[in-house]
Amino acid sequence: MRARLNALLCLAALAGLTLASPDAFAQKYNGRGHAPTIDAVRPPAPKGPRGDGGYRGPRGGGRGVAVPGIIMTVPAMLPPGGGRFIDDGSAEDNPRPARRSQRAARRGTSSAPPPGERRFVPDEVVIEVASSVNARQIDALQRRHRLTRIESRTNQLSGTTMFRWRIPDRRSVAAVVRALEADRIVASAQPNYLFTLQQNETKTAGDPAQYELAKLHITEAHALSEGDGVRVAVIDSGVDATHPELAGSVVESFDTLETPVTPHKHGTAIAGLIAAHGRLMGAAPKARILAVRAFDPAGVRATGTTFDILKGLDWAATHDARVINMSFAGPSDPAIHRSLAAAHAKGIVLVAAAGNAGPKSPPLYPAADANVIAVTATGADDSLFAQSNRGRHIAVAAPGTQLLVAIPDGGYELSSGTSYAAAEVSGVVALMLARDGKLSPGKVRAILQATAKDLGPKGRDALFGAGLVDAHAALVAEDAPALAATPPGVERITAETR
């Protein structure tokens, strides 16, 4: 054995290699994390494809000789500029590391739509690149993947540039997304998902009594706060800013769509539930509405896409929104998740409708996102709205069954849905922020849940969350324990679990 080892040492010396014992090597390099080494002591190497017994390094980076108890430093095997190969086959400390989407693709995860998912535009993709990528590189990327540019936008929340591109041939969205994820200048790629507004039953005319005011203790809360000056962004369909209920409430508007602006029932109703101050009383009558049209106005079930929602979120964040109301639902969306996380980090409170897909539906987004307060709907008798989604991500409940709401052209109607419950909670949040502008999103959630009226099974549950929101109790609460973690069973989305 000693003779064989001496022979190997001589051969290594002739080849310009350095051999060191594990103890000596550790003493020299321990804790520095930058030595160009093979990190693990390799076992005796199996026969290679050429039958020479050589060990082929990760990613085919040359061959070494495995000797028990010996660590070999082999500069010739390293990537340009150095680096450290580790056992999982990735290169650490490489000055040109693979981007997140590329690493994800190699691990077998991807933002391509999962099997059976059909809630996306069938011939479009949404692409994200670093803002440093120049026009020439973008043009080359477009040619390389045979795509047609539709629009682009610099995203202030993420510090990147977003593109919406059309697939002009018959390739599938999944195939194009996977190909883009393997491209070195693409930070992320995904479908242009479709989301729908969460409105269900509608009846013209009805009792003008607003039972939700008593349920939420809104009148008592208004003695302390009316939401003065708090900006609430409503990402929805078109809002009728001329409606008497909203006179002076809509301070700015933003249209993400190319079609002519048409006021729509849903967006007008949502804005009214937050800030109405005429025949109706909104939860926060002195709040200021930022009206963001991101949903096509055709029909009750208007749809919006990933790209338009991203534009709306970014605009709202850069126009000082303190609350963003999202009364829509759809699939899990990686790009929207990243924007929501950035908005949450800026101190913006995010509120979303749980969804109206019923008890058998999987969680819908953005409500199921960990950064969002998910709101379900109840009726005048505190019963759960039958079509409400269930799940442990539900945070709180608010009235949403048969509410009298404002609609375009000065009209009113009775309507139901978790959309309306979310709007009421957004209004209550505006009351809280007007009274204490330093409240963080986490603190707002904690107070709402700690002061809610328990409904259904004792304690927090998958039907009502923590219970029915109490606006007055939330305003007078001196303190509420912050939630330490997401409740069991709630999916917490991160960039690594896309």
Residue from 327, 339, 419, 426 carrying the catalytic annotation: 419
- Report whether 64 contacts 8 (CB < 8 A): no
CA 283 – CA 271 distance, rounded (Å)? 10
Residues 356-385: tens digit of each pLDDT:
999 999 999 999 999 999 999 999 999 999
Going from the C-alpha of 481 to that of each of 156, 442, 451, the distances in angstroms are: 32, 10, 11
Hey, CA dihedral for 346, 324, 159, 371, is it positive or negative?
positive
d(CA 228, CA 431): 8
**Of the candidate ranges 224-233, 261-270, 391-400, the one whose mean pLDDT is the lowest:** 261-270
Is 236 one of the catalytic residues? Answer: yes
Torsion of CA 99, 103, 106, 107, to 10 degrees: -160
Q: Which of 266, 344, 393, 472 is catalytic?
A: 266
Which of these, 2, 33, 38, 47, lies nearest to 18 by C-alpha position? 38
Which tokens in the block code for residue 401? 């069954």
**If pLDDT is split at 50, 70 and 90, which confidence band does 265 have?**
very high
pLDDT of 105-150, one tens digit each? 444 589 999 999 999 999 999 999 999 999 999 999 999 999 999 9
Contact 229, 288 (CB under 8 A): yes
Give pLDDT, residue 213.
Answer: 96
For residue 419, indicate whether it is catalytic.
Answer: yes
Q: Decide which of 37 and 249 is more confident.
A: 249
pLDDT tens for each residue of 392-405 = 999 999 999 999 99
For residues 354 and 9, give the distance between their C-alpha atoms in angstroms, rounded to a whole number. Answer: 68
In Å, how far are 102, 161, 350, 390, 442 from 227, measured between CA atoms? 45, 34, 16, 30, 19
Contacts 24+ apart (CB under 8 A), 492-496: 492/370, 493/332, 493/334, 493/337, 493/369, 493/370, 495/100, 495/334, 495/338, 496/104
DSSP code, position 429: H
In which band, very low, low, confident or very high, does the pLDDT at 261 lie, cut at 50, 70 and 90? confident
**396 and 387 Cβ atoms separated by less than 8 Å:** no
Specify the DSSP element, H or E, that contains 153: strand 148-155
For residue 245, pLDDT beyond 60:
yes
> Is residue 406 over pLDDT 70?
yes
Max mean pLDDT range (49-53, 205-209, 233-237): 233-237
**34-75 pLDDT tens trace:** 333 333 333 344 444 433 333 333 333 343 433 333 333 333
pLDDT > 70: what percent of the chain?
A: 71
Residue 409 confidence class, pLDDT cut points 50, 70, 90: very high
pLDDT the model gives residue 202: 53
Indicate the pTM of the whole model: 0.74
The reported pLDDT for the residue numbered 449 is 98
Please say if 266 is a catalytic residue: yes
How far is the C-alpha of 264 from the C-alpha of 304, rounded, in Å? 14
pLDDT digits (tens, 9 = 90+) for 287-336: 999 999 999 876 556 889 999 999 999 999 999 999 999 999 999 999 99
Confidence of residue 262 (pLDDT cuts 50, 70, 90): confident
Average pLDDT over residues 410-436: 97
Choose, from 236, 308, 314, 369, the residue flagged as catalytic: 236
> Are residues 355 and 262 in contact, defined by beta-carbon separation less than 8 angstroms?
no
CA neighbor of 212 nearest in space, from 375, 356, 355: 375
Percentage of residues of the chain with pLDDT beyond 90: 68
User: Quick check: helix, strand or coil at residue 269?
Assistant: helix
Q: What domains does the chain contain, in order, with CATH numbers? A: 2-92 (no CATH), 100-193 (3.30.70.80), 198-497 (3.40.50.200)
420 φ, ψ (degrees, to nearest 5): -75, -35
Residues 6 or more apart whose Cβ sits within 8 Å of residue 32: none
- The per-residue pLDDT for 68 is 37
Residue 98 pLDDT greater than 60, yes or no: no
